[in-house]
Every structure is written in C-alpha cells, then in structure tokens.
C-alpha cells in the first residue's frame, strides 16, 4: 500500500516524498521532469518518468504499486508566465488534474490531497484571506488551480452518489521558501529567492519596490511559508484521509501575519554576506500593500504551524542553493 506524489521530483513534491517516508508511509512518484530533478527522488522510491496526462500509464502505475491515495503536486506553477502561455498552463493544470482523476477512478483510488494555491483569491483588497474569502483569481494560473478544485469537488459529488466516495481536500498557500535538505533546492527561475540569490551572486544589489506602503516598515507584506512545514501539512492531510476523518474541502496554509519585503531582503543580505545595500525603487503597479492567509483551520485539523523564523527560512534556502 502506498501514496503517489505527482510532481514528486519537484521542489515541493520532493519534500512531500521525504515527509511521507519520515511518517512511515511508502511513497511512489510520477514526474515528467519538465521542471523536476530526478536526483531529488530518494534512492529506492519507485519513479515513473511520465506526464499525468498519460492516463493509461498513470493508471497502470497506480495498480502496480497498490496506491491508496494521491498527493497531487504536479503542475505549471508560474503565475506570471501563465499570462503569456495560458494554454500551456491550462493543459498542465486543468487537463492534467482531469486525467489524474480519471486514472484514479479507473483504479478505485479514493483519497486525494490537492496542492492548490492562494492565487485563487486574487487581489481581494483584504489584508488577510480566509477559506470563505471570495475567489477572484487574476491570472490563468490562479484560475486553473480553482478549476482543479472544482473538478475535485464535482468528482467527490459523483463518487458519493455512486456509493464509493472520493475523500479529498485542497491546500492553498502563497510563497513557499527554504529547504529541509541540503540536496533539495528551489530551481525555479521565476521564484523570488533563487532570483535574488542569483542576482547577489552576480554582484547586483537586491531591490525593494515601494517603501511608502501603509505597513509597519513601509514595504509590502506577504506570506512566506517554509517548504518543510508545507510538506508536513500535506502528509497529515493524507494520514487523516487514510483514517477516514472528515476534512474541510479547502484549507489555507498561511501565517496570518506575513513578512515584509524589507525583512526578507535584510535576511537575504545577512545569509549571503553581500556588501551590497538594498536598492529602493518605486512601487510596482497593482501590488497590494498586504495580503496573507489565515491558517486557523489548518492548525485545528492538520497540525499546521509556522516553525521557522524568517532568517531560518532564508538561511536554509541559501544553504541548499547551488553556488556558482
């Protein structure tokens, strides 16, 4: 009996795989390696190099390894790029989730944890979003994650009517940072931490956009969560579904308070030892002053907690970052 992690060779998915192992749960992995790194998959973990769009291959893998549940991390995770390439985004995130659900239905796999996104909320104008905040995504990426949640919701209804209900929950979160292992790092060219690290390595100063927001230090406030905390919450969700416990359809994994851009940049300066002082620039159009997620429900049901300080998040990311 095992749990499948889709996208299990990626930055987030590989942390989930190792958290499953630590919890005594057998993981198996599917990843098309479009952004994942096969070396992130621990030795001995069954690995299928395939796309989740390949329904027959996915179904056969589920059957071969006696999979009882899926943690669905695979996807096109670039909000900005999704505006330029919406069809690529929808194929990976919408068609991919539909195909995965089809393979699960074919093999009778009835447990699913969906790695969603707080991008489903969009720019709400509210400083703190809860699970009841209206969803108004502003990018094809956010839209595709919301559609994924709808697909899962509808499949839960359909399978319940058929007498073999799918037990599922979706986890929404903002910026994932840090590393729990020296050999796993965020390789995305679009994410904040690697972009700033590469800039510092090339001798450039980190930049802060906007210092006159109505926040404690004048810079934007955002939610940053450590990837190990995120992975642990996914595993607890899987364990609770395995136990037959009722979970909410969606949970926020957030701090409830957030971290300012200046705090993040100061921590990066300290971690890297750069002598380049941060450069202050003008606001970027459309940037809200503050937006974070309330994780109260996840704390209640999924043992969710923010276990790392800002400096610890940055230090762990820098320690695993491949140096030039």
Joined together, the tokens standing for residue 177 give: 């940072």
Is 141 a catalytic site residue? yes
DSSP 38: G
**DSSP string for 49-98:** E--TT-HHHHHHHHHHTTEEEEEE--S---HHHHHH-HHHHHIIIIIHHH
120 in Cβ contact with 129 (< 8 Å): no
DSSP 118: G
Partners of 225 in the β-ladder: 176
Give me the residue label for tokens 């009517």: 161
Q: Which of 11, 141, 251, 308 is catalytic?
A: 141
Q: Which of 283, 172, 286, 292 is nearest to 222 (CA)?
A: 292
Query: What are residue 258's phi and psi, to 5 degrees?
Result: 85, 175
Q: Which of 95, 7, 104, 103 is nearest to 56 (CA)?
A: 103
Give me the residue label for tokens 């069809």: 87
Residues labelled as active-site residues: 141
């Amino acid at each position: 009996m095992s749990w499948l992690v889709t996208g299990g060779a990626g930055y987030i998915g590989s942390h989930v795989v190792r958290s499953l192992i630590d919890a005594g749960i057998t993981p198996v992995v599917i990843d098309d390696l479009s952004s994942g790194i096969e070396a992130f998959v621990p030795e001995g973990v069954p690995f299928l190099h395939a796309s989740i769009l390949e329904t027959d291959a996915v179904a056969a893998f589920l059957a071969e390894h006696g999979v009882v549940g899926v943690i669905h991390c695979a996807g096109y995770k670039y909000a900005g790029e999704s505006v330029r390439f919406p069809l690529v985004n929808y194929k990976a995130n919408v068609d991919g989730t539909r195909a995965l659900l089809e393979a699960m239905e074919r093999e009778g796999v009835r447990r699913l944890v969906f790695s969603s996104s707080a991008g489903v909320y969009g720019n709400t104008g509210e400083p703190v979003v809860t699970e009841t905040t209206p969803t108004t995504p502003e990018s094809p990426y956010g839209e595709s994650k919301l559609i994924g949640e709808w697909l899962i919701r509808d499949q839960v209804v359909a399978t319940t009517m058929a007498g073999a209900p799918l037990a599922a929950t979706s986890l929404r979160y903002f910026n994932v940072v840090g590393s729990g292992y020296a050999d796993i790092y965020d390789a995305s060219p679009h994410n904040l931490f690697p972009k700033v690290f590469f800039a510092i390595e090339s001798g450039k100063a980190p930049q802060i956009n906007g210092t006159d927001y109505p926040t404690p230090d004048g810079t934007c406030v955002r939610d940053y969560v450590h990837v190990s905390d995120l992975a642990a919450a996914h595993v607890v969700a899987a364990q609770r579904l395995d136990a037959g416990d009722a979970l909410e359809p969606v949970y926020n994994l957030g701090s409830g308070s957030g971290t300012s851009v200046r705090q993040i940049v100061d921590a990066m300066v300290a971690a890297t030892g750069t002598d380049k002082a941060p450069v202050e620039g003008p606001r970027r159009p459309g940037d809200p002053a503050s937006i974070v997620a309330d994780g109260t429900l996840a704390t209640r049901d999924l043992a969710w907690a923010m276990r790392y300080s800002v400096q610890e998040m940055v230090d762990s990311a820098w320690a695993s970052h491949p140096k030039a």
